[in-house]
Every structure is written in C-alpha cells, then in structure tokens.
Chains A and B, each alone.
Chain A
C-alpha cells in the first residue's frame, strides 16, 4: 500500500528515514517518531481491533495512554509476546511485528461479530449474571470457557518471559509527573531553585500537548521549540533526572510513587544486557502532578465506528505525526477545542465538511473565526449516527429544535468524525493520594479540591487548560514545591506570553439527543468494555443506585482502561436516570495502576535463583559432593538424606538411622538459631523468657529451654549452655531463629529495660557438626587436645570451650538422637575443614553422614518433640508432658499466668502420646485424624491428629506421635485413623519408644 495519508510536510517524524513493520502480517512503512497508530493511519489503515464483547470493528480513538480500542499484541521474538498494548503507545521501530486481537479468522471477517446482530438486549448489562446462573457446574464447564473464548483481550504469552527487569529506588526534592506545559514549567522552576528533580512522562518524547500545537507561540517561539529548549536546559542540569517512556502508575503512602520505565521495547536490536523495564520506587519530598486531561467522547449512535475519534487525537496525528486520519471530516463538538482541530485538519489538507456544535449559540470569536475561514459551522446540532461498518462513510447530522426534538438528519459524506466533548482532568494520582475532589458545577468537572500534603496539581489536571495559564501555574507549583522541600528561592512567578492557541472551553456529559430508535442503536460510553448508554440506563432501572454498583453491573470503567474516557459520561447518564445532579451520585475510586504494569516489572530481579536468598551452610559443598538430597527449611538448604549407590530415600534413611544407633553419624546442625545472651543480668533475663530456672545452672552446663508466648503456648525450644556467669549460648529451632530473637528483644526493650543484658545473633558465626552415636567420643577424642571428654569430666548436657583440630571451638555434649552425642561448634569458615577432619576420623568407626529425615526419625524414637511439628501454636508444656521443664518456684516468666487459665488445665486437652499401629508394617500419615471408632458417624469431631509417623529401623516397626484429647488417660486404648480405604487401628502408648531410662545418653 502506498503511503497516501501522510501530510505534505511537518510533524515530528523523521521523514528521511523509513521503518518497515507489519500489522496482521501485512508489511507497511513508517518513520522514526511514529507510533504504531500514527503509522497505520498514515498507511490508510483505520481498522485496528475488535471490541471486547460485541466484536465490533474498531479504529483508534485517542493518541495516548487513554486509548481503549486499538489494543494490539506485539511479538518481539523468542517468546517476547506482549498482548493488550495500546497502538498509540507502541513506538515504531524497524521490524516491529504487531497483530490485532479478539478476532477470528481475521480482523475484517470476524465470526464473533455475530454477537452484534443478536436481538437487542441479549448482551445488555448484567447479561452474564442473569443468564448463566444455573446449573452451577455449567459455569466451569460450559459458560466460562465459551465466554473466555468469545469475549476477551489478547492472548497471554505461552512461554517464560526471556527478558529481565530491574528496580531502582530514587529520591528527589520534587517529582514532576507529566512533561507537558505545566510539568515542564514546574521542573524548570524547581531546577532553578536547586532542587533535585525527577521529571517523568509516559511518552517517548517529553512535551505533552505542546508537541501537537501548530500555531501556539510561547514567549516568541513555537510551543514545540519552547518545549525542546526547556528540555535541553533541564537535561544539562545534573540534579534533574529526565524520564521519558516512564509511566507514574501509582501513588502510595508518604509520597512514594511507582514509575515504570520502558527501556527496550522501542529498540529494534536492544543490547541483551539491558533490562526491558525498570520499576522506579520514588520517594519524593514534594510532587507536582501535571498529568493533563483526557478528552471525552460524545455519546451518539455508532460513535465507535473506525474513523470516529477524539478531536485532540486527530490534532496530534496531523500536527505531531504528519498522519492524516481521513480525507473528509465532520467535527462534532461541544467545546472550543473542536475548532482548533478543524483549523489544524484544514491546514493539513483535510476537508472539514461541517463543524457540528452541540451548543445553542456558538457565536463567540472561535466560531466567528471558523466561519470566516469558510467552515460550515452548525450550532444546536448533533450527529445522530454514522454510516459504515469497517470505516466511516458518512455522518448523519441534525438540528435540535426549540422543543428539544431532533431531526430530520442530513447525510454528510465523510471518512472521519471527530468528537470534542470537553476535557476531563486526569486526577487519578491526586485521588490515589486520598486527595478530595471538588465538582466545578459551572464547568461540570471534578478538579482537586485542595492539594494533599506534599503535593500540588498544575495545568489541565487541575482544570487549568490554557497554555499560558498552565505554564504559569506549573512554574509557581514547581517553585513552591522546591521551597517546601527546603530549597531557598524567592522568584516564583512567571507570566509567559502565549499566542495562537484556542483554549478549551465548554463540554458535554452524557448521551446526546438523537431521533433514532433507542432499542436498536448502540451509543458507546465505555469503548473498551463495550458499555452503551442503554446499559447504564438499564442498570439504574433495575435498581442500582450507587455508582460503584452501576460500574460493576455494567462493567463501565473496569479493567485496564479504568474509565479514562468513559467515567464522566457514564456518571452523567446514571445521574440523569436517577434524576440527581452529578456530584450527588459520586465518583468511582481511581485505582492504581493508571495503565497496566507488567508482572516482570514488579518482580524485577526476584525470579529464579534470586527469587529468595538461598542460604547454604558452611558444609553444603561437602554434602553436595557426597550426593546429598537437600530439602528447603525456610530459606535454608538442608541435607535431607545422603543416598549411597543408587539407594532410594527409604533405604537411605533406614541405613542412616541404623548406622547412628550402631556406631554413629555426622549431622550438619549449623542452621540451628544461636543467640549469645551476655550481661550481668543474663540469667535473670532467661528466667523471665524461658519456663526453666537458670540461676543455678553452673558454668559449663546446659539445659533444655522451653519458650512460651504470652498466651502460654509453646513457641520455641532449644539447648542453652552457660559459658560464664554472665554469658549464655542459646540455641533455637532453625525456623524460629529470627522470631525468637525478635521476641527476646521485644521483651527486653519494652518490659525489662532495667536488665543489663544484650542479645547478639551468632547463628552464622558457628558451623555446627553433630557427632552422634556410641562411638562419638572415640571419633572426637583424637581431634581434641585441651578438653577432657571423659564420661564423668564432661557429662551429658555440658559445654566446654577449647580447640578442635586447632580451631577455637565450643563443644557441647548434647543429643537429639538418644545416643551419646556431641555438637562441635567452630567458626563458620573452618566448618568444612573441621567436618572433613571429623569425617575422616569417623570412617575408622564406620560412621555415616545423616540428613534431616533420619534426624527426625531418631528423635521420634526417643519422643523428642519438634516445635512446629508436635506443636501448632495451641499446645502447652503440659500437653507435651513437659511439666518438668517449668520452674515452678519462679515468680514469673512469659506465659506463666496463661498456664493457670481453666481452659489450660482441662483433662480433655489434646496431649502428646505415642501410637503403635496394630499392623506394624503400616506407617500412618502425618496430619491424619484420629477417632474413637473405626467408622464414626459423619460429623463426629476427631480426637486429634498424627503429628509424626515413621518407619523405625531400631524398632523394626512403624511408630507415630499424636495429639489426642485426654491422651495420657487413654494409654492402652485402641483408636482409629480413618483413611480413604479403611480405618487403621492403633494402640495409644507412651511417646517414648526407645531407651526410656536414657542409658545410651550416659554412655
């Protein structure tokens, strides 16, 4: 196709260079500076999409972020597929591949359009709710798949996103959102005051509306030249950060703003190292909102046909992009800005057949000038319909008579109908900041009532439409913002001289009158969601009063569009139907994001291996080399089991358990939380935080500590060793480490500030190697020179400081297996070397390395609990049979008072017991419910649940632990664990299965 819709000259495109691109497989040419929308228009392509519900043919409506119709998918190759991009925002680049959406088999022949010829009312508001109610199963199987196929936006990408994304925190004195007249002036003023400024604009080129002005002159230079020179000034200032292609999509607490910057989508061959997008997390002392205004469509029949577009958009296409959206235009206007479009189109060589002005008497200078230029201006007139399905062929134009009746209509041939319904200030960010809005009754628009602290609105988003006024207001806002941010500056006023602009004045809300059968025509309010005037009236008729309900029932203003072009018209129609003035009906909430933001941008680097920190212990590499299989415990990777020669997990765990009991094993316990509690009041502090008494614990001895929360429930446990009168080495569970430290700090700072004690996390200071088994001492003895490890010299539950393999160490004699055991603590960077030395020594005794699964089995055989497995936040020490761990003589400890509550003392509380299946080969499922009968009546409450269940190598049978109501009084009883196939009979026993007297520990 030849380029037949380019203007002869002008615009901000680079006419010397040609760009090739494709749309729906057809090759076209455009120029640098084009958007996909402008390039398609310049190629005479009007049809760019199909509507969401009715599959109606659609062209481009707007020229910016508010575009509801021309949604396209862009394929950048290699899985880089982005749906639902607004063609008005897609920058043209060499090789761009774009396709239309929501059509099959093609854009011009879409079988889905049948939707549009079904009888009136069938797809009206609430249709889905009314029609697809029953039966419920049909929703998932029939209706939803059908609707999803028929109605929708583009296809989601099918491959993992190969691009990468990044984040940046940024700080500034003044953030200016929007680089139009007001924003540029604000940035200029703030920069002159020495402020750190960030100026962002969603478009590729900063300048906003100034770039689309043909005749406007600012202080003697054309508006676009003024914008260029201002940008040059700003970019030369090191304290100013200019961010084009950057959408400020959300405003959050304390002047925190979310910005997304497009870095590579506009480049034909981006450097693969570059992120596709950068999410800016900006903390601004002050913000100037200069987000402009959005032109309103006029709501009349067939106002959605390709070739019907906003007047301001048409101006942008001819003036900025040198693209003619048509050859013959009818301008339908209720605002003076329609006249500006008529003049600019005429200058671009487009015939303006008529200006149809809805207002009764446009007899001001603007209309007079138009008439003087030979234009056909009709006042008190309306467009009552549009001919042409895939593109406008004619507009029907009629006059409103004195009695309010419309007609008859005159047919005016044209291929372009412009709509100038007035401008709606883009108050989204102000509103997101919880700013109140005020309804300007005279101009019928919502504007910011008063600025939110730390913010100012300037220019069109503040209802200030003229360039001169916007510049002055922006400059003043920028200066004030800089001053409020602490920059000294006296000058604050600037009164630029602007000529050659037509200031928008006037506007219309709601549906315009016409002479057509209202049941048979569609006058669109929300183009993206296919909501018509009828739908909103129907919603009100059916009883919806709140505008929020009308919105949801009709879907007006929903989804990615968020009602940018439709909110005010929808509101006015609802208000009219309700017989209320607009402000009494209210306004829907402005939600972030202003335009859609990719998941990639939010995720940033937090994907793959960087999704979360992967914490590895000092001996991780050794375990990996041994073929260990790891499990995730919080962020840690822990060796789960270490199979030998193709062993299954089952075989490996049985072997590891057996080896530990027969001779011994090594276990990596480095992930256990460790807290050094130091100070003259350390023992007293522990007295208050743990249930146990600490005062009399001798230096060099250890004690099992049990920690409760204020409610009296077990929150953590661990062995605590006393290294000195004023120094304790506290251990916690792996997962509980940060929680326990925070809990301790909380009490220390808020409840016990008088205690002279300090807490330091040492979790990562120490590598911990558990050496467990009958030969544990024999393995360690040769490596320890300065600690007497003899049975009596170093009894169970003791700790010594000394050296192991010449490395400073803390040696604990503790056991979580029931065997003679030691835990070797060495500084982390020596961990692997010491492990290897112990390993080498241990091989003389046939030791194995064992993982967390074997550790679990070994401790369960001894009835040792694991907090978080045997406990669930509702379990008391007594429930666990741990009354012995409570220092009953202590005046107080955290949770003590709660333990005396009547509910905590009930005999039928769930108590820890052991379970032995009648069939020893059956291993119960952890979490399974326990009942008194094999086949309880449906609805019978369970007595409890299985907390741990394993196959025990030592016992040659399965074992389990469980929490059972009144469990300790049920010893010997038979209970049942109902499973899908059959109930499993179990016998209740003491929760200690092996070496109840503890003789192995004392070895």
Chain B
C-alpha cells in the first residue's frame, strides 16, 4: 500500500513581513463537524464532545482543544484541534453519534472542507476590516464571538479568540484567496 500523505490547503507560512503588526498563519489540521439539531441534541453532543455547546448565537465555547461555535439557531461548528488522524476523527464521530442516539440531528464531518488561518497582532482587526464588513471593535465583536461573514469575495467564519487574535475558518479552495488578500493588506499597513 502506497504512502498516503496529507496535503494541506495552505502551504506553511513564509517569513512574516518585517514591521507589520499582524501575523497570518495557517493552523494545523483539526477535526471539524457541523452539528444541526435542537436543544436535546445540544446537551447530548456537549457531553460527548467535551465542551458544553453555547446556546447564544454567534458565540463560541472553548475547553482545552475543543471548541463549539453557534453559527445559527440550530447550527454548531465543532472544532477539535487535538484530533486530525482519520481513526481519531472517526472515533469522535462514533462517540458523538452514540451520545446523540435517536435524538433527531445531523452530524457531518467537515474536517477537510475547511481550513483555518490565525490572524493575530496589533493590527489584526484593521487588517481584517479591509475585507470583512463587520464592526470588529471589542465592544461590538468581543472575544468569543464567532459568525459566518464574508472576506471580500469569500465566505468565512470569523471567530475572535483574543483581544488581538482571530481565527478565520474558510473552505479549502477559498483559503489561498483569503490568505493572499489578507497578506497583501497586512503588508501595506506601514506607518503613514
């Protein structure tokens, strides 16, 4: 049997641009699931996944390497940053399905559908705001907020993980576009 290697959607980052107050970095592989269902499903899935699913829309809950983002009235994105191998991902699916049992729901593996980019630094929000039409000041978009939005011509999920840190989840074929666009923006924010 031949060696089967993963090819991430984004290559490893190059040297960060000197003097630029933002870092853009592709994040390692992770297991991701879209969970759809009602409150009964939420409770069951939270126990199995390892972090209680948020019940307030556009918020994320994180415990260790497990995060759950509520993106719609019945939609959660589950992210397991500690899981990427097929066996482990499959085990997680089984654990979740087993916990959910007969509760009506939809659990779909989207680990490879999308990839993630970390945007971090003093100018993270400014950089994103070249392409993201949302108010990213901390009052309006606090740490822990996550939402589906656009990055110029690509759809993304934007998740604030820290005062100066964001995680962008983007479908794999759009990832180079988002990376190149944000990278172009990050390099132009030199002091006037």
Q: Is A846 an interface residue (CB 8 A)?
A: no
Q: Do A263 and B173 touch (CB < 8 A)?
A: no
Cα–Cα distance between A339 and B4 once the two chains are bound (Å): 86
Specify which chain A residues have a CB less than 8 angstroms from the CB of B43 in the assembled complex.
none
Q: Is A828 an interface residue (CB 8 A)?
A: yes
Interface string of B160-191 (1 = CB under 8 A from A): 00000000000111101110110011011010
Q: Is B110 an interface residue (CB 8 A)?
A: yes
Known: A168-B130, A281-B133, A808-B90. A610 touches B177 (CB 8 A): yes
Cα–Cα distance between A831 and B108 once the two chains are bound (Å): 19
Q: Which residue of A lies closest to B139 (CB)?
A: A196
Q: Do B4 and A807 touch (CB < 8 A)?
A: yes
Q: Do A833 and B7 touch (CB < 8 A)?
A: yes
Q: Do B137 and A833 touch (CB < 8 A)?
A: no
Specify which chain B residues have a CB less than 8 angstroms from the CB of A831 in the assembled complex.
7
* Most central of B110, B114, B178 by chain A CB within 10 Å: B110
Cα–Cα distance between A757 and B109 once the two chains are bound (Å): 16
Taking a contact as CB atoms closer than 8 A, the residue among B3, B8, B137 that contacts A171 in the complex is: B137
Q: Do B133 and A169 touch (CB < 8 A)?
A: yes
Q: Is A617 an interface residue (CB 8 A)?
A: yes
Known: A263-B192, A829-B7. A166 touches B130 (CB 8 A): yes
Taking a contact as CB atoms closer than 8 A, the residue among A263, A808, A833 that contacts B3 in the complex is: A833
Cα–Cα distance between A834 and B187 once the two chains are bound (Å): 37
Cα–Cα distance between A397 and B173 once the two chains are bound (Å): 74
Q: Is A466 an interface residue (CB 8 A)?
A: no
Q: Do B5 and A614 touch (CB < 8 A)?
A: no
Cα–Cα distance between A259 and B109 once the two chains are bound (Å): 43
Q: Do B104 and A832 touch (CB < 8 A)?
A: no
Q: Which residue of B lies closest to A765 (CB)?
A: B113
Q: Is A217 an interface residue (CB 8 A)?
A: no
In angstroms, how far is the closest chain A Cβ from the Cβ of B77?
11
Cα–Cα distance between A164 and B130 once the two chains are bound (Å): 13
Cα–Cα distance between A396 and B181 once the two chains are bound (Å): 62
Q: Is A800 an interface residue (CB 8 A)?
A: no
Q: Do B188 and A166 touch (CB < 8 A)?
A: yes
Known: A274-B190, A834-B4. A760 touches B129 (CB 8 A): no
Q: Is B148 an interface residue (CB 8 A)?
A: no
Taking a contact as CB atoms closer than 8 A, the residue among B2, B110, B174, B178 that contacts A833 in the complex is: B2
Q: Do A169 and B134 touch (CB < 8 A)?
A: yes
Known: A764-B172, A783-B1, A805-B1. A613 touches B177 (CB 8 A): yes
Q: Is A405 an interface residue (CB 8 A)?
A: no
In angstroms, how far is the closest chain B Cβ from the Cβ of A195?
12
Q: Do B111 and A676 touch (CB < 8 A)?
A: no
Cα–Cα distance between A110 and B104 once the two chains are bound (Å): 82
Q: Do B104 and A764 touch (CB < 8 A)?
A: no
* Most central of B106, B107, B140 by chain A CB within 10 Å: B106
Cα–Cα distance between A831 and B131 once the two chains are bound (Å): 30
Cα–Cα distance between A621 and B74 once the two chains are bound (Å): 38
Cα–Cα distance between A971 and B19 once the two chains are bound (Å): 73
Q: Is A167 an interface residue (CB 8 A)?
A: yes
Stretch at the interface among B29-37, B45-53, B54-62: B29-37
Cα–Cα distance between A426 and B74 once the two chains are bound (Å): 50
Q: Is A792 an interface residue (CB 8 A)?
A: no
* Most central of A170, A271, A758 by chain B CB within 10 Å: A758
Q: Which residue of A lies closest to B2 (CB)?
A: A837
Q: Which residue of B lies closest to A785 (CB)?
A: B1
Q: Is A761 an interface residue (CB 8 A)?
A: yes
Interface string of A821-835 (1 = CB under 8 A from B): 000000111111110
Taking a contact as CB atoms closer than 8 A, the residue among B8, B110, B153, B192 that contacts A762 in the complex is: B110
Interface string of A606-623 (1 = CB under 8 A from B): 100110111111100100
Q: Is A248 an interface residue (CB 8 A)?
A: no
Interface string of B126-169 (1 = CB under 8 A from A): 10011111110100100000000000111000000000000000
Specify which chain A residues have a CB less than 8 angstroms from the CB of B177 in the assembled complex.
610, 613-614
Known: A758-B74, A828-B112, A840-B2. A166 touches B7 (CB 8 A): no
Specify which chain A residues have a CB less than 8 angstroms from the CB of B172 in the assembled complex.
618, 764, 828-829
Q: Is A906 an interface residue (CB 8 A)?
A: no
In angstroms, how far is the closest chain A Cβ from the Cβ of B24?
15
Q: Do A614 and B176 touch (CB < 8 A)?
A: yes
Q: Is B86 an interface residue (CB 8 A)?
A: yes
Q: Do B129 and A168 touch (CB < 8 A)?
A: yes
Q: Is B92 an interface residue (CB 8 A)?
A: no
Q: Which residue of B lies closest to A614 (CB)?
A: B177
Q: Is A836 an interface residue (CB 8 A)?
A: yes
Q: Do B106 and A275 touch (CB < 8 A)?
A: no
Specify which chain B residues have a CB less than 8 angstroms from the CB of A164 in the assembled complex.
184, 188
Q: Do A169 and B108 touch (CB < 8 A)?
A: no
Q: Do B112 and A764 touch (CB < 8 A)?
A: yes
Q: Is A520 an interface residue (CB 8 A)?
A: no
Q: Do A679 and B104 touch (CB < 8 A)?
A: yes
What number of A residues sit within 8 Å (CB to CB) of B? 60
In angstroms, how far is the closest chain A Cβ from the Cβ of B73?
10
Q: Do B1 and A806 touch (CB < 8 A)?
A: yes
Interface string of A758-783 (1 = CB under 8 A from B): 10111111100000000000000001
Interface string of A280-291 (1 = CB under 8 A from B): 010100000000
In angstroms, how far is the closest chain A Cβ from the Cβ of B67?
18
Q: Is A678 an interface residue (CB 8 A)?
A: yes
Specify which chain A residues have a CB less than 8 angstroms from the CB of B130 in the assembled complex.
166-169, 604-605
Cα–Cα distance between A761 and B36 once the two chains are bound (Å): 13
Specify which chain A residues have a CB less than 8 angstroms from the CB of B99 in the assembled complex.
none
Q: Do A829 and B6 touch (CB < 8 A)?
A: yes
Q: Is B27 an interface residue (CB 8 A)?
A: no
Q: Is A273 an interface residue (CB 8 A)?
A: yes
Q: Is A269 an interface residue (CB 8 A)?
A: no
Specify which chain A residues have a CB less than 8 angstroms from the CB of B21 in the assembled complex.
none
Cα–Cα distance between A604 and B107 once the two chains are bound (Å): 39
Interface string of A666-678 (1 = CB under 8 A from B): 0000000000101
In angstroms, how far is the closest chain B Cβ from the Cβ of A200?
15
Specify which chain B residues have a CB less than 8 angstroms from the CB of A621 in the assembled complex.
7
Specify which chain A residues have a CB less than 8 angstroms from the CB of B108 in the assembled complex.
676, 678, 760, 762, 765
Specify which chain B residues have a CB less than 8 angstroms from the CB of A636 in the assembled complex.
173
Q: Which residue of B lies closest to A828 (CB)?
A: B112
Cα–Cα distance between A764 and B105 once the two chains are bound (Å): 22
Specify which chain B residues have a CB less than 8 angstroms from the CB of A281 in the assembled complex.
133
Specify which chain B residues have a CB less than 8 angstroms from the CB of A617 in the assembled complex.
173
Taking a contact as CB atoms closer than 8 A, the residue among A167, A196, A678 that contacts B107 in the complex is: A678
Specify which chain B residues have a CB less than 8 angstroms from the CB of A169 in the assembled complex.
129-130, 132-134
Known: A613-B173, A613-B174, A613-B177. A833 touches B106 (CB 8 A): no
Q: Which residue of B lies closest to A611 (CB)?
A: B153
Cα–Cα distance between A392 and B129 once the two chains are bound (Å): 52
Specify which chain A residues have a CB less than 8 angstroms from the CB of B37 in the assembled complex.
758
Interface string of A717-745 (1 = CB under 8 A from B): 00000000000000000000000000000
Interface string of A656-697 (1 = CB under 8 A from B): 000000000000000000001011100000000000000000
Cα–Cα distance between A762 and B114 once the two chains are bound (Å): 10
Q: Do A765 and B153 touch (CB < 8 A)?
A: no
In angstroms, how far is the closest chain B Cβ from the Cβ of A182?
26
Q: Is B44 an interface residue (CB 8 A)?
A: no
Taking a contact as CB atoms closer than 8 A, the residue among A274, A764, A783, A833 that contacts B188 in the complex is: A274
Other than the known A605-B181, A761-B113, A833-B4, what 5 A-B pairs have Cβ atoms closer than 8 Å?
Answer: A166-B188, A169-B132, A613-B176, A760-B106, A829-B8
30 CB contacts below 8 A, A to B, read A166-B130, A167-B130, A263-B192, A271-B190, A273-B188, A273-B190, A604-B130, A610-B181, A613-B177, A617-B173, A635-B173, A678-B106, A679-B104, A679-B106, A756-B104, A758-B106, A760-B106, A763-B113, A764-B172, A765-B113, A806-B1, A808-B90, A827-B111, A828-B113, A829-B7, A830-B6, A830-B7, A833-B3, A833-B4, A833-B6
Q: Which residues of A contact B (CB under 8 A)?
A: 164, 166-171, 196, 263, 271, 273-275, 281, 283, 604-606, 609-610, 612-618, 621, 635-636, 676, 678-680, 756-758, 760-766, 783, 805-808, 827-834, 836-837, 840
- Which 8 A/B pairs are nearest by Cβ-Cβ distance? A758-B36, A678-B106, A758-B106, A615-B173, A613-B177, A171-B135, A828-B112, A827-B112
